[in-house]
A and B are shown apart, each in its own frame.
Chain A
Amino acid sequence: MEELLIISPSPHITSGASTRKIMLDVIIALLPAVAASAVIFGLRSLLIIAVTVTVSVLSEYISRKVMKRDNTITDLSAVVTGILLALNLPVGINPLCAAFGAVTAIVVVKQMFGGIGNNFVNPALTARIVLLSSFPSQMTTWAQPFWYKSGSVDAVTCATPLALHNAGETVPVLDLFFGTTGGCMGETCAMAILIGFVYLLIRRVISPVIPLTYIGTVALMSLMFGQDFLFELLSGGLLLGAVFMATDYTTSPINTKGRVVFAVGCGVLTFLIRHFANLPEGVSFSIMIMNILVPLIERATAPRPFGEKESKNVTV
């Protein structure tokens, strides 16, 4: 033994999991949705994704540098934020607006609160909400599916299924499932999102608690209020939000019981906003509101240590 031995606290082995591997799995799970958006809304969607991803990673790099913190772009979390943000935008958005959203997500929401693991709301969702209030008309102009095939330079616009539904029209369920409706780039195709969901479950990246409870709550509320529940589930950003946004580790409760409460809250708020508020869509807002409540939920639902209950019955 020529060199000194390494001393470290136990355990001396690890499972091999890393933040980078988890983020890579999330990126892989998002690929079906990315592909679906490219097919349905054309190559322009890939351009928007490229813009948000590049700007996200760049802003992460620069802001860490300015704040004199170590570089974290290799953990790939900025890439995930970039893709998620793009999937929550309409395809016709000005790339500069999309870039502004990415800067907001990474610099304001994530890095100013301490970087990965410390932001209290979901960066991509919050950036979407900022864009919605900054550019309301751009953010609510939806391109017709396969508009690029018509050869026109400007996108032909259409309404989202939720808007159509509120206007009294019906949308075929198959269209919703395959995503051939108006809406944000990544949210329309239910099939692609579900493939990603299954992948995340198989890789044990997320637990099914939040998505299933969230979707289940919306379904239950729809049945209670006499709505078409299949339509409620497949339309809007519910699936994308439930699978990829509400399950964000940092901004959801750390314990299972807390996750149930969190997801029920998301479901109830989504339904209420959709049906009783003057907003086009409730998923972003409901998840963000519940994000803010996470510390309180965790405090109220903290697991009881093993043997604590029993020790109360013992007279010492």
Chain B
Amino acid sequence: MEKTCLSLPRKPFRTRGGAHISHNKNTRDSRSVVMPCPKTVILPMSQHIGTPCTPVVKPGMHVCVGDVIGKCESMISAPIHASVSGRVQSIRKIQLPNGHMNDAVVIESDGEMKLSENIKPPVISTPQDLFNAVHASGLVGLGGAGFPTHVKINVPEGKHADTLIINCAECEPYITADHREAVENTENVISGIVLMLRILKLDRAVVGIEDNKPDAVKALKKAISECTDAEAKKIGVLTLKARYPQGAEKVMIKAVTNRVVPMGMLPVDAGCIVMNITSVAFVSSYIKTGIPLVSKRITVDGSAVTEPKNVIVPIGTHIKDIIDFCGGYKDNCRKLILGGPMMGIALETDDFPILKQSNAVLAFNKKDAVLSTPTACIRCGRCVKNCPFSLMPAAIETAVKLHDKDKLKKLGVADCMECGTCAYNCPAHRPLVQIIRQGKMIAANKAKKQGV
């Protein structure tokens, strides 16, 4: 087949469903501040999707910023680095928000933030070099999912990727971390994209960004026009309608390329590599400095935070310390969310660390924290109409009640990305996401039985 060069999309393609959610981007103009080094950090060994790492340090050892403290031989995993310099205090079990118990390294900081002597910028000329470098940097998808990035950029044999999509939709309310990345770190974003295009020999790169960030769009376009690399011509910025969940990977691919990722497959099966804007900027800075992923920009917001702002913190910083840095709680915090209000996880304590993939901490007062009690489903069909993946949440709920595994599979329950649009719109306040998670477990259980 004759190879045609792909053009850059002028306007987004149609996507289905979703919801209009008030943006509440209160921190959109707040320039990121670097938080002073915390007294201790706690680094769980699982900050990614895949096999957890094993600690390679012992209590009492001295570590510097960037030293590897957790490693894993498995392909789908990412190493963990010390984010502060100091003494390893202990290695203890910590319960992650998903319920799994995990080893975590506690480091007592000496306050010096001394860089490790092993840090040196990598040299990259082949895709394999890039793969190794990204693997060593500990980078995971910074948009929230935490999928190891080196796996994404490793296009399997027999498959072909032609498009790089840079996800800057940031469709979750409140969060402005990616927005600030695009504005404050534009140069690294563009040089990262250029590097990706050059090494992976892709046809084009498209930055997908929601239209509620005009300043970021302007900054990106300006940087592209000023870029002297030959690859700059292949980079486009596509303004998308601000509609939740525009930033969901499969929705983004549809909007940018009009391609549909087959059910149960990965973006590369639709010829796409999707990276978060902060991830791609990090790749660029890693190539320049060699400093692995040790810090993260976090949006701190919500009705129970005194001074909402964007802060850059070492990974592993306690949420409590960050809140204190932002003026502490006000108005009696009743709910603490790691992530956005649509897909974030409610924490039971503020004694939990920031993970690599975290991008926001929200604290809500009583008024915002208490949700209405569920009433009976009235079959209004809002969940069906607005599902970005054309699923039928109301029917899934019935099947879950009946424990009907076959029906659940037929309804495609495993395909749900848990974006929460159904539950957000539900006038009966049904906890549909929770019910769907239950449905996934019922369906998966069946799959195991069939396999044996």
Binding site for B on A (CB under 8 A): 1-15, 17-19, 21-22, 72, 75, 77, 114-118, 207, 249-250, 252-256, 298, 302-311, 313-314
Tell me the smallest distance from the CB of A75 to a CB of chain B, in Å: 7
* Cβ contacts B313-331/A at 8 Å (1 or 0 each): 0000000000000000100
Q: A308–B392 Cα gap in the complex (Å)?
A: 14
Knowing A9-B437, A12-B364, A13-B21, say if A249 contacts B381 (CB, 8 Å). yes
Question: B431 and A14: CB pair below 8 A?
Answer: no
Nearest first, the 9 A-B pairs at minimum CB distance are: A305-B412, A11-B420, A311-B262, A306-B389, A9-B434, A307-B263, A17-B427, A310-B262, A311-B263
Q: Which residues of A contact B403 (CB under 8 A)?
A: none
Q: A19–B412 Cα gap in the complex (Å)?
A: 28
Q: A311–B344 Cα gap in the complex (Å)?
A: 29
Stretch at the interface among B120-128, B215-223, B290-298, B368-376: B368-376
Question: A5 and B428: CB pair below 8 A?
Answer: no
Q: Is B418 an interface residue (CB 8 A)?
A: yes
Knowing A6-B369, A18-B372, A116-B378, say if A302 contacts B395 (CB, 8 Å). yes
Shortest Cβ distance from A256 into B: residue: B385
Question: B250 and A15: CB pair below 8 A?
Answer: no
Stretch at the interface among B36-44, B81-89, B279-287, B347-355: B347-355
Given contacts A2-B332, A306-B390, 17 further A-B contacts (CB under 8 A): A6-B370, A10-B344, A11-B343, A13-B21, A18-B428, A77-B378, A117-B428, A118-B376, A305-B389, A305-B411, A305-B412, A306-B16, A306-B260, A306-B391, A307-B261, A311-B263, A314-B262
Tell me the smallest distance from the CB of B125 to a CB of chain A, in Å: 33
Select one of B333, B348, B395 contacting A254, CB under 8 A. Answer: B395
Select one of B371, B392, B411 contacting A12, CB under 8 A. Answer: B371
Q: Which residues of A contact B395 (CB under 8 A)?
A: 254, 298, 302
Tell me the smallest distance from the CB of B227 to a CB of chain A, in Å: 35
Q: Which residues of B contact A305 (CB under 8 A)?
A: 263, 389-391, 411-412, 415
Question: A14 and B424: CB pair below 8 A?
Answer: yes
Which applies to chain A's interface (DSSP): helix, strand, loop or mixed? Answer: loop
Which applies to chain B's interface (DSSP): helix, strand, loop or mixed? Answer: loop
Tell me the smallest distance from the CB of B242 to a CB of chain A, in Å: 16
Q: Which residues of B contact A114 (CB under 8 A)?
A: 376
Q: A16–B394 Cα gap in the complex (Å)?
A: 19
Q: A306–B229 Cα gap in the complex (Å)?
A: 38
Q: A233–B372 Cα gap in the complex (Å)?
A: 42
Q: Which residues of A contact B385 (CB under 8 A)?
A: 207, 255-256
Question: A307 and B427: CB pair below 8 A?
Answer: no
Q: A26–B362 Cα gap in the complex (Å)?
A: 37
Question: A5 and B333: CB pair below 8 A?
Answer: yes
Knowing A14-B429, A307-B263, say if A75 contacts B424 (CB, 8 Å). no
Question: A117 and B263: CB pair below 8 A?
Answer: no
Knowing A13-B424, A254-B384, say if A75 contacts B375 (CB, 8 Å). yes
Q: Which residues of A contact B265 (CB under 8 A)?
A: 307, 311, 314
Q: Is B252 an interface residue (CB 8 A)?
A: no
Tell me the smallest distance from the CB of A124 to a CB of chain B, in Å: 15
Select one of A10, A17, A313 contacting B262, CB under 8 A. Answer: A313
* Cβ contacts B153-166/A at 8 Å (1 or 0 each): 00000000000000
Shortest Cβ distance from A294 into B: residue: B379
Tell me the smallest distance from the CB of A291 to a CB of chain B, in Å: 12
Could you jot down 17 A-B contacts, CB within 8 Å?
A3-B334, A5-B333, A6-B346, A7-B347, A13-B342, A13-B368, A17-B426, A117-B377, A250-B378, A255-B381, A256-B385, A302-B392, A303-B384, A306-B390, A310-B261, A310-B262, A310-B263
Question: A303 and B392: CB pair below 8 A?
Answer: yes
Q: A11–B340 Cα gap in the complex (Å)?
A: 9
Q: A272–B250 Cα gap in the complex (Å)?
A: 47
Q: A10–B21 Cα gap in the complex (Å)?
A: 15
Question: A307 and B250: CB pair below 8 A?
Answer: yes
Knowing A13-B173, A17-B425, A306-B390, say if A5 contacts B346 (CB, 8 Å). yes
Q: Which residues of B contact A22 (CB under 8 A)?
A: 378, 380, 427
Shortest Cβ distance from A21 into B: residue: B427
Q: Which residues of A contact B329 (CB under 8 A)?
A: 1
Knowing A116-B378, A307-B262, say if A5 contacts B348 (CB, 8 Å). yes
Knowing A22-B380, A254-B394, say if A12 contacts B341 (CB, 8 Å). yes
Q: A304–B262 Cα gap in the complex (Å)?
A: 12
Shortest Cβ distance from B335 into A: residue: A6
Select one of B260, B371, B390, B431 contacting A303, CB under 8 A. Answer: B390
